[in-house]
Chain A
Amino acid sequence: MSSSTRLGCGRDIDEVWANIDAPPTPHELTCPFCGAARDSLHELERATAALRSADDEDPQLQAGPQVIARILEVARSEARRSRRLPLSKPRPGQVSDELTVSEQAVAAVVRRTGDRHGGLQVRRCSIDLVTAAPAVDGPGPDDEEVPESGVPSDVRVTLRVSVRSDVAIPLLTRELRAAVMEVVDREVGINVVGVDVAVEDVHDA
């Protein structure tokens, strides 16, 4: 450390600062350099607190509303476009779907469902189209029939969540799964075949 912060007694001003909230040490009680340094540091501390609360409370010390508006405008104009998911099961050979929904829009519905639930915060949410026919369920294996137009798409929802420290994770995730399936079906009209929930963090109650 540079000698410019060294006091006349050889101590560094940082050492005096480190002890500023504790009672003076025996050396500081008798040393004229340390005593003076402590006094002026105390004064600096008081002035700092005053400056800080003045700054924090001054309604003028923030960006004007037009600055905020411009920032949000840029963000909107540069919005990241997400994938689009077909609302109806795509049929083989079909080139384009009449109706799609953006992954972000579905994610917003899922997040809202999670927020309403309480006890957890949905951090990440991705929605993937499930194209393979669901396992052995339903009609026999010889069923090669082309799905008719208007059959809701199947999607899989993957969530990374933070849970409140006082909740039971198995119960919560079970309820969340059921709620997500129900709400997405009702509000978006696509079929959630699975909800994978990864708990990545815990937050305070």
Chain B
Amino acid sequence: MGVQGMTTARVADEGRRGVEIEDRERPAASPDGAHPADGVDGGQHQGPANAVPYPGGMAEATVVGRAQEGDLEAFEMIVHRYQGPVFRLAYRMLGDRGEAEDVVQDCLVLVWRKLPSLTDAQAFHRWIYQLATRRCLSVLRTRSRRRTDATETDELERDLPLDASSDPAAMAQHLAQVEGLDTFLRGLPDEQRACWVLRELHDLTYPEIAYAMNLPVSTVRGRLARARQNLTKGMSSWR
């Protein structure tokens, strides 16, 4: 049993009562650091390594605090920092550029309007992911009520940037892998996909995902396990 590292996070949602969430994190096992530690941080989140950092190395809580006071310059920094991640989350959830842009717009406008009600500036990272995730799930619910066919092919994947130095066979395999995963990801039930995308593509911790989706951590763990199983099943049948 490789599970280690008991952590407890207190996640407070505005308006709702706080929920004590106990989580046993997936171990930050690998000695080569393939998985960043899943610390339940107090929000020292600077996001993934490729995230646009704030100018002058400003801490997120500083920028958020300023935006809460109505500083438009600080809000603009937040927009530039998060539009990419929110777009990628929405794009993976919805598979549609236009809808993903709508989510970015709705989400960031909501951030501006609701910022004064955010009591803890350190909680901003999981809070914006919560707004974005809820928006995506609500778009999906509307869509399924309309019974729209959700399998649009997209031209984006065909232009994936590839490492020119790698050999053609490896490139083809790499591309096939990405396309395969993309396909099976689209086939997952919405909530499984949301959990998986937040965990694997956005580095959210289990408690952060639980907060974003308003689910108990145990349910998040179950959905992630099923998502992984479905994806591996899909990929091995495709192999």
Q: Quote the shortest CB–CB distance from A19 to chain B (angstroms).
A: 4
A15 within 8 A of B: yes
Q: Quote the shortest CB–CB distance from A61 to chain B (angstroms).
A: 5
CA distance A52 to B84 in the complex (A): 13
Given A19-B2, A60-B156, A203-B59, residue A46 in contact with residue B177 (CB < 8 A): yes
User: Which residues of B (94-116) have their CB < 8 Å from a CB of A?
Assistant: 100-101, 104-105, 108-109, 112-113, 116
Residues of A in contact (CB 8 Å), total: 63
On whether the beta carbons of A43 and B101 are closer than 8 Å, the reply is no
Q: Quote the shortest CB–CB distance from A29 to chain B (angstroms).
A: 15
On whether the beta carbons of B174 and A104 are closer than 8 Å, the reply is no
Stretch of A70-78, A140-148, A149-157 at the chain-chain interface: A70-78
Q: Quote the shortest CB–CB distance from A156 to chain B (angstroms).
A: 17
User: Which residues of B (1-33) have their CB < 8 Å from a CB of A?
Assistant: 1-3, 26-27, 29-30, 32
* Chain A: CB-nearest residue to B32: A21
On whether the beta carbons of B226 and A2 are closer than 8 Å, the reply is yes
On whether the beta carbons of B231 and A44 are closer than 8 Å, the reply is yes
On whether the beta carbons of B178 and A21 are closer than 8 Å, the reply is no
Q: Quote the shortest CB–CB distance from B190 to chain A (angstroms).
A: 17
Query: Which among B62, B178, B228 is the interface contact of A41 at CB below 8 angstroms?
Result: B228
* Chain A: CB-nearest residue to B28: A21
Given A55-B88, A67-B105, A75-B75, residue A50 in contact with residue B177 (CB < 8 A): yes
Query: Which among B29, B73, B180, B236 is the interface contact of A19 at CB below 8 angstroms?
Result: B29
- On chain B, the residues within 8 Å of A60 by CB distance are 156, 159
Q: For the complex, would chain A's binding face be called helix, strand, loop or mixed by DSSP majority?
A: helix
- On chain A, the residues within 8 Å of B233 by CB distance are 40
B76 within 8 A of A: yes
* Chain B: CB-nearest residue to A11: B1
User: Which residues of B (207-239) have their CB < 8 Å from a CB of A?
Assistant: 218, 221-222, 224-226, 228-229, 231-233, 235-236, 239
* Chain B: CB-nearest residue to A40: B232
On whether the beta carbons of B109 and A71 are closer than 8 Å, the reply is yes
On whether the beta carbons of B66 and A51 are closer than 8 Å, the reply is no
Query: Which among B59, B68, B86, B232 is the interface contact of A121 at CB below 8 angstroms?
Result: B59
- On chain A, the residues within 8 Å of B91 by CB distance are 55, 61
On whether the beta carbons of A71 and B69 are closer than 8 Å, the reply is no
Query: Which among A19, A70, A121 is the interface contact of B62 at CB below 8 angstroms?
Result: A121
Q: Which of A5, A18, A44, A201 has the most CB of B within 10 A?
A: A44
B182 within 8 A of A: yes
On whether the beta carbons of A63 and B225 are closer than 8 Å, the reply is no
Q: Quote the shortest CB–CB distance from A59 to chain B (angstroms).
A: 9
B125 within 8 A of A: no
Q: Quote the shortest CB–CB distance from B145 to chain A (angstroms).
A: 26
Given A50-B178, A64-B101, A70-B105, residue A56 in contact with residue B225 (CB < 8 A): no
Query: Which among B65, B180, B225 is the interface contact of A124 at CB below 8 angstroms?
Result: B65
On whether the beta carbons of B161 and A67 are closer than 8 Å, the reply is no
Q: Quote the shortest CB–CB distance from A154 to chain B (angstroms).
A: 22
A57 within 8 A of B: yes
User: Which residues of A (133-178) have their CB < 8 Å from a CB of B?
Assistant: 160, 162
- On chain A, the residues within 8 Å of B232 by CB distance are 37, 40-41, 43-44
Which B positions have Cβ atoms within 8 angstroms of A?
1-3, 26-27, 29-30, 32, 34-35, 48, 50, 56, 58-59, 61-62, 65-66, 68-73, 75-76, 79-80, 83-84, 86-88, 91-92, 100-101, 104-105, 108-109, 112-113, 116, 121, 156, 159-161, 174, 177-178, 180-182, 200-201, 218, 221-222, 224-226, 228-229, 231-233, 235-236, 239
Which A positions have Cβ atoms within 8 angstroms of B?
1-2, 4-5, 12-15, 17-22, 37, 40-41, 43-48, 50-52, 54-58, 60-64, 67-68, 70-72, 74-76, 78-80, 82, 104, 107-108, 111, 115, 121-126, 160, 162, 201, 203
Apart from A41-B228, A43-B235, A44-B231, what are 20 other A-B pairs with CB-CB below 8 Å? A5-B222, A18-B3, A19-B2, A20-B29, A44-B228, A47-B178, A48-B200, A51-B201, A56-B48, A61-B91, A62-B84, A63-B86, A67-B104, A68-B79, A74-B109, A80-B70, A82-B69, A115-B56, A123-B61, A123-B66
